Structure 1
Amino acid sequence: MIISLIIRHYKIYKGLNYIPLSDGTKFSSILGENGAGKSSILESLDCFFNKKPFTDWSINFEAKAEGSSGENSPHIIPIFLIHKSKLRNSLKADQESYRNATSLSDYLWNTSDNKNIETIKEFYIHRDILKTQIDPNDYFLLLVGRKYKSNECFFGSYQNTLSFINSNPHIKYEEKELEEYFSGFYDYIISHYSYLYIPVETDVQTYTKLETQDMQRLMDKNIQIEIENAITQKTIKTINGHLDKFVEDIEGVLETYKYKGKFKNSLTMPDLVSKIIESYFSIKELNKKVPNSTKTIAVNELSSGEKRKALIDLAYSFLKKNSDRTTNLIIAIDEPESSLHISNCYEQFEKLIEIAKENHQILITTHWYGFLPIVTEGTATSINKGLDNKITTDFFSLSNFREFIKQEKERHKKAKVKGPLSIDYRIKSYNDLIQSVIISIIQDPPYNWIICEGSSEKIYFENFFQKEIMDKKLRILPVGGYEEVMKIYNYLLGPFKDSDYDKKGKIICLIDTDENRIDVDSVISNKNLYFKRLVFNKKDDSILYDVNSDLTTVTTIEDSLNSEIFIETLKFFSSENEELIPLLEEKNINKKSVYSKNALDLRDSEKDILKAFFNKNYGSNKLNFAKKYLEITDTDYLLGYDIEWVSEIKKIINS
């Protein structure tokens, strides 16, 4: 997959720019105002992958001013993360390129060269993020580029620092040596990919013709294989034989003239396949079926929004049906929501998310932020253009985007920066979020939601509620603290008080109980909207109550787990956290406890040690603990059936 892009002097991107696009997940969104350069990213990648002629490169004026030699030349350099099993290595022709990929990847995973160059600094930061997500031993990290008006493989700032090129790294290699070393490498890498770019202004009628290159990228090799199987090599031989005889007869008449092949003398299988595809499919046009009727409507007669929807429906249908592909597909779409009514935006993005789950990389630009809480695995790159036209980016995971925004606000405040946050964060408003959630619960079938405080809850809940996620379209949305949950609940009250909304799905807002207990004034009685609190009741070992319950015991998600598994998980972490060892002495363990809140009989000072453990490393211990807790449980525990409050939530969702 593409994880980032280094781009120089292409359209709005003056000088060197580093654009992060993925953290190893398949869904990547690019956000920003009009004119920020979102579409330029997808367009430049189209030039790179589909070998667009240099006359199609949109080079800016700065390129002409700086000249086009060496590193100053406009260039497009995607950075790839490729599992080592996915690069071809069986054929002799591929083995040298595979070895070169190994050398280049080893270098890029470990080098600190050029660290004073701003784009390379950003690459190293991104690389460090990747190392926390995947094992570098399993993946190639490859930087492969194209330079304007050059067909050689280009490496940008690394062009002169790839020390593995010759046997003596202390001797500077020549440009010719680099070209020879990586001869054919660019073609080798891009041959593993099909890049499908759908701009906003795409002509749907032309695009959806089955004989076009874009449609054949969607279909991959299957249609060609079908035609080859129908023709067979015997048929090719028979056709060539009859045509050769026909040409010989003509030449016999001409006497002093002869027909000679310009490049070849006979038809090949690819020749016939391409002509059959062109001739057969060119007479067919995509039509939309009219519901409850035998009639159809030609796609060119649909509205602008319906045409846009047809494009995504087409891609979705092909890719869901055709999972056995010979190439990795990257689908890049400009503004998939363009011209769509807001009621259809959710479904449009849901299809794109599903395509990403089928292991195809999705790159989109968009102005519609309703998808943000839906994506459980994916990233967003916010493109910001300053008053000086300088481009900067913010890059974050969509699994906890609300928390990221909250952190950005805190950093903004601490830095004493005047004025609001960048336009991207202001656009990601509660209105966008609530709009997305409300639309999702009035659809048929509806979505259901648990809106919780943080990422550790999300980890537990996505395991406890696996069945509901699959069968009831349950989504877990961590928003970064109880105050954020409260705000979202208050925003939800308006639509829920409005009887015009036919609410079908359930929304459960769920918070911990902190030392400073809160009251929510406007709780309403509604079978579809709930506000619950995790709070421990020592009398009966119960733990789930309405938010305005009088119970005040401080209770966190870590207090609400199965007691036995909680102790086992703590023992695992005690090997690297010696302060935990005294807490886990036999005399402190309460074997009759149900919930982890009561699992250990500790003094206040010892409780502080346990609390400090969970808050250690900026809360990352909470995440690691959650993963380990789930790892050591059996199936029944994993699904939360032994935890009463989890069962109560399941009943609400399934009722």
Structure 2
Amino acid sequence: MIVGVLLRYIKTYKGINYIPLTEASNFCGLVGDNGIGKSSVLEALDSFFNERQITLNIAVKRSGYSETKPSILPVFLVKKIKIPEPLTALAEKLSQLALSISEADVNPANRQHIKRFITHRESLLRNIKISEHYLIPIGVDHNSNPTLSVFNCRKLVEITHGEQADPQLISLNDSEVSEFSPLLRELKNGIEYIYIPKDIDSESFTKLETIEIQALMGETLNEILERCVTTHAIQSINRSLNEFIDGLSQELIEYSYRTPTDRQQNLKKQDVYNLITQAFFNIRKLHKKQGESWLEINALSSGEKQKAIIDVAHSLIKNHRTSGHNLVLAIDEPESSLHMSACFDQFDALHDISQSCMQLLFSTHWYGFFPTIEDGSATVITKKDGDHVFDLINLPSHREQVKQLASSSRGKFPYDIRLKSINDLVQSIISSTIGDNPYTWVLCEGSSERIYLNAYFKDIVSSRRVRVVPVGGAKEIKRIYQHLAVSYEEFKDEINGKIVLISDTDTELVSYETNNNLSNLICKRLVSDSKTRDARLVHIKSNPVSPQTEIEDALNGKLFYETLKEFSAELKNQVLCDLFDSATEENSYFALDLRTSERDLINNFFDSGNNKYVFAQRYIARLTDTHKVPAWINEIRGWIS
């Protein structure tokens, strides 16, 4: 997997730019304005893997190679078992470097670039078992020679030669760097990189004899023909033809059909394969069925051509290719020329493709995929004071992260990202709920809610096409509902899918009007009701409006406290933890008769760090069919089933 790439004076990228691509998910998007450099990343990787000509930044011509040192350096995440024994020592050196390098290890001019890598590395390490992987930065310069770029520093000298190495040595020389060439070849050969640019000739690309289509199939035409036309068959053809020529020569007496040389050539396997390819495959073009007829791909609209390419790739990878473990598919603007209603299905297909290959990379201007993808990442590319800025967003919690990035940048994070995230979210929801096979949406406040709801609805996620999406708080629920309500009125006769929005009951209640007559658009608030000793789903402005209720207050009480006991060290109150054994299966808020101070202790635990997320994972790991399902969960199930 390619987790990041460092581009140095490549195409639109002047200077050194470290671009994070993923936090270990294999569905990776690049988003940003026109001309910002999204396609440049995909093209650079195509040059790296397929040895195509590297497009250099214009500054290289002005300043020269020695000054600019253009290079393409991917950062690979590779399972240790994938590296053959002779190369493990080289992999260990570079992985040790990548995992230990700090800003102080490089010269001041490169520290900001290494800082970006370190920030990405820390988020990456939270999502993988690094003990099972190598993290390897290695690439090529403009002459295709191996390079370590800014990673070639004093730290690498010490790893290679020991800490007692000559203090004057601040980097490895070219000869020492070239020793990593076998590892570089192994990494490049271990990945099949297929790049589909936006302006690709769809007819040429989809021909069966192209390298790209054969790579998607996972086998070449020669391999297919070898099964159909065996060596024995070719020998039989040669024998019969030679017998014919010999017989003809006898009939002609003093004449014979011969080749110019004394040695008479026979048909070779490749001769036969080439003839079959020309006569059988080359005359065939991709057609799409339209009713009872077949329409040639060139007769399709631009959007239909783009969809056809993705459909063919999807089908070949899913249905024909044996394994996509070494396939990286890169697609430039897959939504190009598509109608908004078709974009959702296009990206849904892309996500499905990503589950069957090593990695899917794409560039796009369409943000509708942000809320629809259950696991994936997007790198938002912007510019600040002439320099590129890269923000890696985890898609399952994208709205929370966008909100945090906007806050931390004091409003400098691009406003259009926030605007598009709300507009495209609403458009994608509405468009996906229209039709004969609609999606079902459950919008909640945070990532932990998503974990619980996905676990409770796992049996209908596929059949009902359920999407559980965290949007980042009750205020966001309000904003989205108000946008949805306007769009819903326009399309209410066509909407078949359910849209459910669930918010918590906060101390400072977010109150707003909802239209309770929209049958497929349901907006509710979760609250603990002391009268019924249960959690209820009520209208936003209905009573009760207290106590403060989050999803952790409305789970199976017995399972909740069994799970919470695993965190006794963090709670630091053994007396409280001993009470957990007596919990009932009522909602967790009522399962134990706790004092206010004890509830505060538990609430403080959930408000600390990443505890909500970690707890949710532990809770669903313990969840079985024998546990009583909270009534409010069953109520939602009734709406969406």
Output the TM-score relative to the length of structure 2: 0.90
Decide whether aligned partners of structure 1 residues 449 and 157 sit closer, same or farther in structure 2, where only a CA change above 3 A counts. same
8 Å contact from structure 2 (residues 27, 351) kept in 1: yes
Decide whether aligned partners of structure 1 residues 270 and 398 sit closer, same or farther in structure 2, where only a CA change above 3 A counts. farther
Give the Cα–Cα distance (whole angstroms) in 2 for the partners of residues 9 and 518 of structure 1. 50
1:82 aligns with 2:81: no
The answer for unaligned runs of 5 or more in structure 1 is 90-94
1:623 aligns with 2:613: yes
1:309 maps to amino acid: K
The equivalent of 1:43 in structure 2 is 43
8 Å contact from structure 1 (residues 453, 511) kept in 2: yes
Q: Which of residues 333, 336, 341 in structure 1 aligns to 2:334?
A: 336
1:485 aligns with 2:481: no
Give the Cα–Cα distance (whole angstroms) in 2 for the partners of residues 62 and 267 of structure 1. 54
8 Å contact from structure 1 (residues 115, 121) kept in 2: no
8 Å contact from structure 1 (residues 109, 136) kept in 2: no
The equivalent of 1:525 in structure 2 is 517
Give a deviation string over 1:229-268, Cα, whole Å, max 9, x none: 23334456667899999999x9xx999x96899xxx9987
Give a deviation string over 1:561-584, Cα, whole Å, max 9, x none: 11111111111100x224242222
8 Å contact from structure 1 (residues 353, 375) kept in 2: yes
1:648 aligns with 2:621: no
8 Å contact from structure 2 (residues 26, 376) kept in 1: yes
Q: Equivalences for 1:61-76 in 2 at 5 Å?
A: 61-69=58-66, 72-76=68-72
Give the Cα–Cα distance (whole angstroms) in 1 for the partners of residues 86 and 236 of structure 2. 39
8 Å contact from structure 2 (residues 571, 605) kept in 1: no
Give the Cα–Cα distance (whole angstroms) in 2 for the partners of residues 105 and 374 of structure 1. 34
The equivalent of 2:175 in structure 1 is 176
Identity in percent? 36
1:202 maps to amino acid: I
1:630 maps to amino acid: I
SS of residue matched to 2:209: coil
8 Å contact from structure 2 (residues 78, 133) kept in 1: yes
Decide whether aligned partners of structure 1 residues 159 and 236 sit closer, same or farther in structure 2, where only a CA change above 3 A counts. farther
Q: Equivalences for 1:102-501 in 2 at 5 Å?
A: 102-112=92-102, 113-114=105-106, 116=108, 117=110, 118-150=112-144, 152-159=145-152, 161=154, 162-163=156-157, 170=165, 174-179=173-178, 181-221=179-219, 223-235=221-233, 273=273, 276-277=276-277, 279-291=279-291, 293=292, 295-325=293-323, 328-388=326-386, 390-413=387-410, 421-498=413-490, 501=493
Give the Cα–Cα distance (whole angstroms) in 1 for the partners of residues 636 and 324 of structure 2. 44
Give the Cα–Cα distance (whole angstroms) in 1 for the partners of residues 235 and 162 of structure 2. 54
Give the Cα–Cα distance (whole angstroms) in 1 for the partners of residues 263 and 177 of structure 2. 41
Range that drifts further, 517-526 or 603-612: 517-526
8 Å contact from structure 1 (residues 441, 448) kept in 2: yes
Give the Cα–Cα distance (whole angstroms) in 1 for the partners of residues 507 and 598 of structure 2. 18
Deviation at 1:37, TM superposition (A): 0.8
SS of residue matched to 1:600: coil
Total equivalences in the alignment: 623
Give the Cα–Cα distance (whole angstroms) in 2 for the partners of residues 515 and 130 of structure 1. 35
Give the Cα–Cα distance (whole angstroms) in 2 for the partners of residues 348 and 326 of structure 1. 20
Deviation at 1:501, TM superposition (A): 4.1
2:132 maps to amino acid: D
Give the Cα–Cα distance (whole angstroms) in 2 for the partners of residues 539 and 332 of structure 1. 57
1:105 maps to amino acid: S
8 Å contact from structure 2 (residues 534, 590) kept in 1: no
8 Å contact from structure 1 (residues 412, 421) kept in 2: yes
The equivalent of 2:252 in structure 1 is none
1:33 maps to amino acid: D
Give the Cα–Cα distance (whole angstroms) in 2 for the partners of residues 266 and 135 of structure 1. 57
Deviation at 1:359, TM superposition (A): 3.4
8 Å contact from structure 1 (residues 192, 327) kept in 2: no
Give the Cα–Cα distance (whole angstroms) in 2 for the partners of residues 115 and 529 of structure 1. 57
8 Å contact from structure 2 (residues 370, 398) kept in 1: yes
The equivalent of 1:92 in structure 2 is none
Q: Which of residues 536, 541, 544 in structure 2 aligns to 1:548?
A: 541
Give the Cα–Cα distance (whole angstroms) in 1 for the partners of residues 130 and 496 of structure 2. 45
1:643 maps to amino acid: P
Range that drifts further, 34-43 or 542-551: 542-551
SS of residue matched to 1:442: coil
The equivalent of 2:91 in structure 1 is 101
Decide whether aligned partners of structure 1 residues 110 and 243 sit closer, same or farther in structure 2, where only a CA change above 3 A counts. farther
Deviation at 1:505, TM superposition (A): 0.7
Deviation at 1:480, TM superposition (A): 0.7
Output the TM-score relative to the length of structure 1: 0.88
Range that drifts further, 549-558 or 474-483: 549-558
Decide whether aligned partners of structure 1 residues 578 and 290 sit closer, same or farther in structure 2, where only a CA change above 3 A counts. closer
Q: CA-atom RMSD, angstroms?
A: 3.1
Decide whether aligned partners of structure 1 residues 423 and 145 sit closer, same or farther in structure 2, where only a CA change above 3 A counts. farther
Give the Cα–Cα distance (whole angstroms) in 1 for the partners of residues 142 and 244 of structure 2. 48
SS of residue matched to 2:19: strand
Decide whether aligned partners of structure 1 residues 121 and 237 sit closer, same or farther in structure 2, where only a CA change above 3 A counts. farther
Decide whether aligned partners of structure 1 residues 27 and 260 sit closer, same or farther in structure 2, where only a CA change above 3 A counts. farther
Deviation at 1:464, TM superposition (A): 0.9
Decide whether aligned partners of structure 1 residues 369 and 326 sit closer, same or farther in structure 2, where only a CA change above 3 A counts. closer
Give the Cα–Cα distance (whole angstroms) in 2 for the partners of residues 144 and 269 of structure 1. 40
1:412 maps to amino acid: S
Range that drifts further, 105-114 or 434-443: 105-114
